[in-house]
Chains A and B, each alone.
Chain A
Protein backbone atom coordinates (compact mmCIF):
# COMPACT_ATOMS: atom_id res chain seq x y z
CA UNK A 1 0.00 0.00 0.00
CA UNK A 2 1.00 3.59 -0.48
CA UNK A 3 0.63 6.67 1.69
CA UNK A 4 1.54 10.33 1.40
CA UNK A 5 2.37 12.59 4.33
CA UNK A 6 2.31 16.36 4.15
CA UNK A 7 3.87 17.44 7.39
CA UNK A 8 2.46 20.96 7.49
CA UNK A 9 -1.27 21.61 7.36
CA UNK A 10 -0.69 25.35 6.99
CA UNK A 11 2.31 27.44 5.99
CA UNK A 12 2.10 31.21 6.50
CA UNK A 13 4.68 33.23 4.57
CA UNK A 14 5.23 36.84 3.63
CA UNK A 15 5.06 37.97 0.01
CA UNK A 16 8.38 37.68 -1.89
CA UNK A 17 9.78 35.24 0.68
CA UNK A 18 10.87 31.71 -0.32
CA UNK A 19 8.74 28.73 0.63
CA UNK A 20 9.09 24.96 0.89
CA UNK A 21 6.13 22.61 1.24
CA UNK A 22 7.14 19.20 2.47
CA UNK A 23 5.95 15.85 1.15
CA UNK A 24 7.03 12.34 2.12
CA UNK A 25 5.66 9.10 0.78
CA UNK A 26 5.68 5.42 1.59
CA UNK A 27 5.43 2.69 -1.03
CA UNK A 28 6.56 -0.87 -1.59
CA UNK A 29 6.73 -0.24 -5.37
CA UNK A 30 8.08 2.58 -7.48
CA UNK A 31 5.82 5.59 -7.89
CA UNK A 32 5.24 8.63 -10.01
CA UNK A 33 4.94 11.84 -7.99
CA UNK A 34 2.74 14.89 -8.44
CA UNK A 35 1.91 18.24 -6.94
CA UNK A 36 -1.56 19.66 -7.50
CA UNK A 37 -2.86 23.10 -6.50
CA UNK A 38 -6.41 24.02 -5.57
CA UNK A 39 -7.19 27.74 -5.69
CA UNK A 40 -10.24 28.96 -3.77
CA UNK A 41 -13.45 27.80 -5.45
CA UNK A 42 -11.58 26.11 -8.30
CA UNK A 43 -10.75 22.54 -9.28
CA UNK A 44 -7.43 20.79 -8.80
CA UNK A 45 -4.73 21.83 -11.25
CA UNK A 46 -1.47 20.01 -11.96
CA UNK A 47 1.62 22.01 -10.90
CA UNK A 48 4.30 19.50 -11.84
CA UNK A 49 5.09 15.80 -11.97
CA UNK A 50 8.08 13.49 -11.68
CA UNK A 51 8.11 10.40 -13.86
CA UNK A 52 11.80 9.68 -14.44
CA UNK A 53 15.09 11.35 -15.31
CA UNK A 54 16.31 14.51 -13.61
CA UNK A 55 15.23 14.63 -10.00
CA UNK A 56 14.64 18.39 -10.16
CA UNK A 57 11.32 19.10 -11.81
CA UNK A 58 10.10 22.53 -12.85
CA UNK A 59 6.41 23.33 -13.02
CA UNK A 60 4.05 26.19 -13.68
CA UNK A 61 4.05 29.53 -11.85
CA UNK A 62 7.73 29.29 -10.88
CA UNK A 63 7.37 26.21 -8.67
CA UNK A 64 9.86 23.35 -8.64
CA UNK A 65 10.21 20.10 -6.73
CA UNK A 66 13.04 17.69 -6.05
CA UNK A 67 12.64 13.94 -5.85
CA UNK A 68 14.83 12.30 -3.21
CA UNK A 69 14.51 8.53 -3.41
CA UNK A 70 16.62 7.76 -0.35
CA UNK A 71 14.50 10.05 1.82
CA UNK A 72 11.27 9.21 -0.05
CA UNK A 73 10.53 12.92 -0.33
CA UNK A 74 9.23 15.26 -3.00
CA UNK A 75 9.34 18.76 -1.50
CA UNK A 76 7.88 21.72 -3.39
CA UNK A 77 9.73 25.03 -3.49
CA UNK A 78 9.36 28.55 -4.82
CA UNK A 79 12.05 31.21 -4.37
CA UNK A 80 9.66 34.15 -4.11
CA UNK A 81 5.92 33.83 -3.52
CA UNK A 82 3.10 36.14 -4.53
CA UNK A 83 -0.25 36.83 -2.93
CA UNK A 84 -1.83 34.93 -5.83
CA UNK A 85 -0.03 31.73 -4.72
CA UNK A 86 -2.39 31.47 -1.75
CA UNK A 87 -4.05 28.09 -2.22
CA UNK A 88 -4.18 24.48 -1.00
CA UNK A 89 -1.35 22.31 -2.29
CA UNK A 90 -1.63 18.53 -2.55
CA UNK A 91 1.14 16.03 -3.03
CA UNK A 92 0.15 12.75 -4.68
CA UNK A 93 1.65 9.49 -5.93
CA UNK A 94 0.66 6.85 -8.46
CA UNK A 95 1.99 3.35 -7.81
CA UNK A 96 3.68 1.65 -10.73
CA UNK A 97 2.15 -1.73 -10.02
CA UNK A 98 0.44 -2.06 -13.37
CA UNK A 99 -3.03 -1.80 -11.85
CA UNK A 100 -4.44 1.67 -12.41
CA UNK A 101 -3.36 5.25 -12.69
CA UNK A 102 -5.14 6.22 -9.48
CA UNK A 103 -3.73 9.10 -7.46
CA UNK A 104 -3.11 8.75 -3.73
CA UNK A 105 -3.15 12.17 -2.11
CA UNK A 106 -1.78 13.70 1.05
CA UNK A 107 -3.99 15.79 3.31
CA UNK A 108 -2.86 19.06 1.77
CA UNK A 109 -0.96 22.16 2.87
CA UNK A 110 -2.59 25.56 2.90
CA UNK A 111 -0.10 28.18 1.71
CA UNK A 112 -1.18 31.54 3.12
CA UNK A 113 0.79 34.42 1.60
CA UNK A 114 0.60 37.64 3.56
CA UNK A 115 1.47 41.12 2.30
Chain B
Protein backbone atom coordinates (compact mmCIF):
# COMPACT_ATOMS: atom_id res chain seq x y z
CA UNK B 1 0.00 0.00 0.00
CA UNK B 2 0.95 3.67 -0.20
CA UNK B 3 3.38 4.94 2.38
CA UNK B 4 3.71 8.36 3.97
CA UNK B 5 4.04 11.06 1.36
CA UNK B 6 5.35 14.59 1.76
CA UNK B 7 5.14 17.58 -0.54
CA UNK B 8 7.04 19.38 -1.81
CA UNK B 9 10.20 17.28 -1.83
CA UNK B 10 12.27 20.45 -2.01
CA UNK B 11 11.43 24.02 -1.05
CA UNK B 12 13.68 27.03 -1.49
CA UNK B 13 12.54 30.29 0.04
CA UNK B 14 13.91 33.63 1.10
CA UNK B 15 14.47 34.76 4.64
CA UNK B 16 11.30 36.24 6.11
CA UNK B 17 8.88 34.33 3.87
CA UNK B 18 6.09 31.97 4.96
CA UNK B 19 6.14 28.27 4.00
CA UNK B 20 3.79 25.32 4.30
CA UNK B 21 4.90 21.70 4.25
CA UNK B 22 2.37 18.93 3.72
CA UNK B 23 2.22 15.37 5.02
CA UNK B 24 -0.12 12.61 3.87
CA UNK B 25 0.02 9.76 6.40
CA UNK B 26 -0.75 6.12 5.75
CA UNK B 27 -4.50 5.66 5.48
CA UNK B 28 -6.07 4.78 8.83
CA UNK B 29 -3.11 5.88 10.93
CA UNK B 30 -4.34 8.02 13.80
CA UNK B 31 -0.97 9.18 15.11
CA UNK B 32 1.16 11.65 13.13
CA UNK B 33 4.57 13.09 13.99
CA UNK B 34 6.77 15.85 12.64
CA UNK B 35 10.55 15.77 13.03
CA UNK B 36 13.33 18.03 11.81
CA UNK B 37 16.72 16.73 10.68
CA UNK B 38 19.57 19.21 10.39
CA UNK B 39 22.74 18.36 8.50
CA UNK B 40 24.81 15.77 10.35
CA UNK B 41 22.21 15.29 13.08
CA UNK B 42 19.55 12.77 13.92
CA UNK B 43 15.88 13.68 13.55
CA UNK B 44 14.54 15.95 16.30
CA UNK B 45 10.92 15.71 17.47
CA UNK B 46 8.69 18.71 16.78
CA UNK B 47 5.03 17.82 17.33
CA UNK B 48 2.69 14.84 17.68
CA UNK B 49 -1.00 14.56 16.70
CA UNK B 50 -3.46 11.99 17.93
CA UNK B 51 -6.40 12.42 15.60
CA UNK B 52 -7.05 16.11 15.02
CA UNK B 53 -5.48 17.44 18.18
CA UNK B 54 -1.86 18.25 18.91
CA UNK B 55 -1.17 15.99 21.89
CA UNK B 56 2.43 17.14 22.33
CA UNK B 57 3.96 20.25 20.73
CA UNK B 58 6.88 20.48 23.12
CA UNK B 59 9.43 20.19 20.31
CA UNK B 60 8.36 23.25 18.33
CA UNK B 61 11.32 25.64 18.61
CA UNK B 62 9.31 28.88 18.84
CA UNK B 63 5.98 30.47 17.94
CA UNK B 64 6.94 30.86 14.28
CA UNK B 65 6.23 27.14 13.90
CA UNK B 66 2.68 25.82 13.82
CA UNK B 67 1.05 22.61 12.60
CA UNK B 68 -2.52 21.55 11.95
CA UNK B 69 -4.39 18.36 11.16
CA UNK B 70 -7.98 19.53 10.76
CA UNK B 71 -9.61 16.29 9.61
CA UNK B 72 -7.34 13.82 11.35
CA UNK B 73 -5.52 12.82 8.18
CA UNK B 74 -3.37 15.28 6.21
CA UNK B 75 -1.17 17.58 8.26
CA UNK B 76 0.46 20.88 7.37
CA UNK B 77 3.52 22.32 9.09
CA UNK B 78 3.59 26.09 8.81
CA UNK B 79 6.65 28.27 9.34
CA UNK B 80 6.31 32.06 9.52
CA UNK B 81 9.10 34.58 8.96
CA UNK B 82 11.58 31.90 7.97
CA UNK B 83 15.18 32.19 9.09
CA UNK B 84 18.33 30.65 7.63
CA UNK B 85 18.55 28.42 10.71
CA UNK B 86 15.25 26.80 9.71
CA UNK B 87 17.00 25.11 6.79
CA UNK B 88 16.71 21.35 7.33
CA UNK B 89 14.89 18.24 6.18
CA UNK B 90 11.42 18.08 7.71
CA UNK B 91 10.22 14.52 8.24
CA UNK B 92 6.72 13.26 8.82
CA UNK B 93 5.85 9.88 10.33
CA UNK B 94 2.62 8.08 11.10
CA UNK B 95 1.59 5.07 13.17
CA UNK B 96 -1.64 3.15 13.67
CA UNK B 97 -1.98 4.47 17.18
CA UNK B 98 0.36 5.16 20.06
CA UNK B 99 2.22 2.82 22.34
CA UNK B 100 4.43 0.27 20.65
CA UNK B 101 3.27 0.86 17.08
CA UNK B 102 6.00 1.39 14.52
CA UNK B 103 6.38 4.89 13.11
CA UNK B 104 6.58 4.92 9.31
CA UNK B 105 8.52 7.83 7.86
CA UNK B 106 8.01 9.80 4.70
CA UNK B 107 10.89 10.85 2.41
CA UNK B 108 11.00 14.34 3.88
CA UNK B 109 10.89 17.91 2.58
CA UNK B 110 14.24 19.64 2.21
CA UNK B 111 13.75 23.30 3.16
CA UNK B 112 16.42 25.81 2.19
CA UNK B 113 16.13 29.38 3.43
CA UNK B 114 18.35 31.80 1.53
Of residues 83 to 107 in B, which have CB atoms within 8 Å of A's CB atoms?
Answer: 91, 93, 95, 98-107
Given contacts A101-B48, A101-B99, A105-B44, contact A43 B107 (CB under 8 A): yes
Q: What is the CA–CA distance of A44 and B91 in the complex, to the nearest angstrom?
A: 9
Given contacts A46-B102, A101-B95, contact A90 B43 (CB under 8 A): yes
| B98 adjacent to A100 (CB under 8 Å) | yes
User: Given the complex, which residues of A lie within 8 Å of B99, measured CB to CB?
Assistant: 101
Binary per-residue interface labels of chain A (69-97) against chain B in the complex, 1 for a CB within 8 Å, 0 otherwise: 00000000000000000000010100000
| B55 contacts partner chain A, Cβ-Cβ < 8 Å | yes
Closest to B3 in A: A43
Main secondary structure of the interface of B (DSSP, over half): loop
Q: How large is the interface on B (under 10, 10 to 19, 20 to 34, 35 or more residues)?
A: 20 to 34
| A7 contacts partner chain B, Cβ-Cβ < 8 Å | no
User: Given the complex, which residues of A lie within 8 Å of B102, measured CB to CB?
Assistant: 46, 49
Rounded to whole Å, the gap between the CB of B53 and the closest CB of chain A is 12
User: Given the complex, which residues of A lie within 8 Å of B41, measured CB to CB?
Assistant: 107-108
| A55 contacts partner chain B, Cβ-Cβ < 8 Å | no
Given contacts A43-B108, A49-B102, contact A100 B48 (CB under 8 A): yes
Q: What is the CA–CA distance of A49 and B40 in the complex, to the nearest angstrom?
A: 23
Q: What is the CA–CA distance of A42 and B4 in the complex, to the nearest angstrom?
A: 12
User: Given the complex, which residues of B lie within 8 Å of A51, measured CB to CB?
Assistant: 100
Q: What is the CA–CA distance of A101 and B33 in the complex, to the nearest angstrom?
A: 9
Where the two chains meet, the residues of B that have a C-beta atom closer than 8 Å to any C-beta of A are 3-4, 31, 33, 35, 40-45, 48, 55-56, 59, 91, 93, 95, 98-108
